[in-house]
Structure 1
């Protein structure tokens, strides 16, 4: 099976810990610390490998935290191509509060990239994407990177005959959709911002998704709806999948796991309906893991059988 290339311009060291209770002013003694390599595309590559697929992660890294990122990725056994940058790789951390089971997520800003640095990322993708099934461009863009960067990735994919998946938000997502991609994964809020829809009921969301696909913005649009599952739209069909009920331990990386499961299934030639089930199973599986860990293959395979899908008919 052809490999999947992932691109992460703003990776992070994801740190997770816990405290009995989050209170102001007092020193909060934390529990054990977990550290994992993170950022949208890196998470996707981790899950693709966990599910038995082949991936190559392209990402930036800089400073002492960049060295730590390399070490953590080596431990995960990921095939990768890193682009050295002058700035430091960012950190993000998650704190689980024991008394309430609430999760507090703190996302630190990333470095500023020079034009030379982000151009090298595009060049690296062009090299490793030869013969690939997909390029998955995922996550936020650091300062210094133009808003149309993911649109440039989409053009690169078209030139090389490789399907492009985009998972981001705001102007970078809008620019990528103006260029046209194979698959995009907005959430409900992002769908509203893209289309200007006034309400967020399923009928309105379904109509908005169909409009984006009809305009050629994406061949496949997967709208994530949190605990309500996801809505997948192609020119031929529209399918809703429901999330199996589970006890959530951490939501870190759930969206990236969804993208990984969905994309890998499509790369394996699965139908859109089956691919959506694998995406839901992967995203739900991530909820079962602690801290910055992601989904595990055994959980995903078990959950896949529990995912219910149904066609959505135009109103």
Structure 2
């Protein structure tokens, strides 16, 4: 069990006695995830989100890589532009799917040449439903990919963690063994799959700690902008959707503004409880929309700075 410090007890007391977000210190590190746009309109939406969130001085922003490497060029173009045109540190997702080691290494080399120093290394999902099979001559899993990247250059590498167990893992112990293998291969931190209740994260953190894992495990926060979509995504990745959440979103299908307010409230409450439990880094899955992540960060005391100051932070 994780020991609770005196400072955490004091923080918990404040969280219970004070208005929920009163005087939160703003000592969080935050990061944001985007996906590469498919259309000109989506491109505009992405860049509006990037520019809105940039003044919050995130530790990094990441850009996803589609199943089967289907967004390879768009991911590279988006990451390279963020790195080139903003004050942000861009991190590129890279997977093992449908490519040889040489092909993946070439992508990594292109990122290094573009000034990208941070990779989010993932096994990845196959392009069609079914069990993952490593490509002939490819990296067999994320741990092997991490080791391969570290052989090429001194990349900072983040990996994925699964508080409710990856669907392909036999059990949580095997899942944590796999996390340890990725960290032992050279990864800096793990970022979790999204989850809906703080205890889900705390239980996982305790199990990882008991297994000897000392690296930072950063909670991934998914504000629920579309409940049906989150139910579908949760089912795909084995994430439990609590019954209380379904009740809260019931009847909001035709009320997008109200639904957004409820989504912001829930994600902010989850973030606040994680902070009270000693979490000092949060990673937001933005879905290329800035408003919810910006509002939650503001509630937690993370304030916008002039971009020139954000760049120096």
**TM-score by structure 2 length?**
0.39
The structure where strand makes up a greater share of residues is 1
